[in-house]
Amino acid sequence: MGAIVAIVGRPNVGKSTFFNRLIQRREAIVDAVSGVTRDRHYGKSDWNGKEFSLIDTGGYVLGSDDVFEKEIDKQVELAIDEADAIIFMVDVEAGVTGMDEDVAKLLRRVKKPVFLAINKVDNAKRSADAVEFYALGLGEYYELSSINGSGTGELLDALVEVLPEKEDTVDDLPRFAVVGRPNAGKSSFINALIGEERYIVTDIAGTTRDSIDTKYNRFGFEFNLVDTAGIRRKAKVKEDLEFYSVMRSVRAIEHCDVCILVMDATRGFDGQVANIFWLAHRNNKGIVILVNKWDLVEDKETNTMKQYTQKIKEAIEPFIDVPILFISVLNKQRIFKAIETAVSVYQNRSKKIKTGKFNDVMLPLIEKYGPPAYKGKYVKIKFCMQLPTPYPQFAFFCNLPQYVREPYKRYLENQIRENFDFTGVPITIFMRKK
Say whether both 38 and 156 belong to one domain: yes
Q: pLDDT-based confidence at 63, cuts 50/70/90?
A: very low
Residue 13 among known ligand-binding residues: yes
Q: What is the rounded distance in angstroms from the CA atom of residue 431 to the CA atom of residue 383?
A: 11
Say whether both 211 and 308 belong to one domain: yes
Instruction: Average the pLDDT over each of 254-258, 381-385, 424-428 and give the range with the smallest value.
Output: 254-258
Higher-pLDDT residue of 433 and 193 is: 433
How many CA atoms lie less than 13 Å away from 184 in the CB half-sphere?
Answer: 31
Residue 370 among known ligand-binding residues: no
Residue 180 among known ligand-binding residues: yes
Residues 50-77, mean pLDDT to the nearest whole number: 65
| Percentage, residues of the chain above pLDDT 90 | 30
167 falls within a domain: no
Residue 59 among known ligand-binding residues: yes
Residue 292 among known ligand-binding residues: yes
Residue 124 among known ligand-binding residues: no
Residue 16 among known ligand-binding residues: yes
| Percentage, residues of the chain above pLDDT 70 | 78
pLDDT at 82: 74
The pLDDT tens digits for 259-284 are: 999 999 988 888 778 888 888 898 89
Residues 45-61, mean pLDDT to the nearest whole number: 74
pLDDT at 157: 92
Residue 201 among known ligand-binding residues: no
pLDDT at 229 over 60: no
pLDDT at 60 over 50: no
Residue 293 among known ligand-binding residues: yes
Strand 212-218 relative to strand 221-227, pairing: antiparallel
Residue 121 among known ligand-binding residues: yes
How many CA atoms lie less than 13 Å away from 225 in the CB half-sphere?
Answer: 26
Q: pLDDT-based confidence at 217, cuts 50/70/90?
A: confident
263 falls within a domain: yes
Residue range of the domain that includes 15: 3-162
Say whether both 115 and 7 belong to one domain: yes
Residue 217 among known ligand-binding residues: no
The pLDDT tens digits for 71-102 are: 667 777 777 777 889 999 999 988 898 888 88
Residue 9 among known ligand-binding residues: yes
Cβ(418)–Cβ(411) below 8 Å: no
Residue 129 among known ligand-binding residues: no
Say whether both 385 and 340 belong to one domain: no
Residue 205 among known ligand-binding residues: no
CATH number of the domain that residue 374 is part of: 3.30.300.20
pLDDT at 50 over 50: yes
Say whether both 90 and 209 belong to one domain: no
Residue 348 among known ligand-binding residues: no
pLDDT at 30: 36
Q: pLDDT-based confidence at 34, cuts 50/70/90?
A: very low
Domain closes at, from 328, 348, 368: 348
Q: pLDDT-based confidence at 213, cuts 50/70/90?
A: low
Domain closes at, from 282, 314, 348: 348
Say whether both 135 and 239 belong to one domain: no
Question: Nearest-5° angle of CA 422, CA 423, CA 428?
Answer: 50
Residue 58 among known ligand-binding residues: yes
Say whether both 89 and 139 belong to one domain: yes
Residue 183 among known ligand-binding residues: yes
Say whether both 181 and 325 belong to one domain: yes
Higher-pLDDT residue of 43 and 363 is: 363
Say whether both 196 and 339 belong to one domain: yes
Residue in 279, 267, 256 with CA at minimum distance from that of residue 53: 279
Say whether both 331 and 384 belong to one domain: no
Say whether both 341 and 363 belong to one domain: no
Please state at what angle helix 335-349 crosses helix 186-194, rounded to 10 degrees: 100
By the 10 Å C-beta count (0-12 exposed, 13-18 middle, 19+ buried), 127 is classed as middle
87 falls within a domain: yes
158 falls within a domain: yes
Residue 228 among known ligand-binding residues: yes
Residue 35 among known ligand-binding residues: no
Instruction: Give the count of domains, the chain.
Output: 3
Residues 215-235, mean pLDDT to the nearest whole number: 62
What element of type H or E holds 288? strand 286-292
Winning range, highest mean pLDDT, from 13-17, 131-135, 190-194: 131-135
Residues 158-172, mean pLDDT to the nearest whole number: 72
**One-letter identity of residue 314:** E
Instruction: For residue 372, say if its preceding peptide bond is cis, omega within 30 degrees of 0.
Output: no
Residue 215 among known ligand-binding residues: no
Instruction: Average the pLDDT over each of 57-66, 274-283, 422-431 and give the range with the smallest value.
Output: 57-66
The pLDDT tens digits for 110-126 are: 888 999 999 988 888 88
Higher-pLDDT residue of 239 and 431 is: 431
Q: pLDDT-based confidence at 35, cuts 50/70/90?
A: very low
170 falls within a domain: no
Domain closes at, from 314, 348, 382: 348
Q: What is the rounded distance in angstroms from the CA atom of residue 32 to the CA atom of residue 169?
A: 29
Residue 214 among known ligand-binding residues: no
Residue 81 among known ligand-binding residues: no
The pLDDT tens digits for 275-326 are: 888 888 988 999 999 999 888 877 766 668 888 999 999 998 888 999 999 9
Higher-pLDDT residue of 429 and 220 is: 429
pLDDT at 373 over 70: yes
Say whether both 186 and 311 belong to one domain: yes
pLDDT at 203 over 60: no
227 falls within a domain: yes
Mean pLDDT of the chain: 80
CATH number of the domain that residue 200 is part of: 3.40.50.300
Residue 231 among known ligand-binding residues: yes
Residue 236 among known ligand-binding residues: no
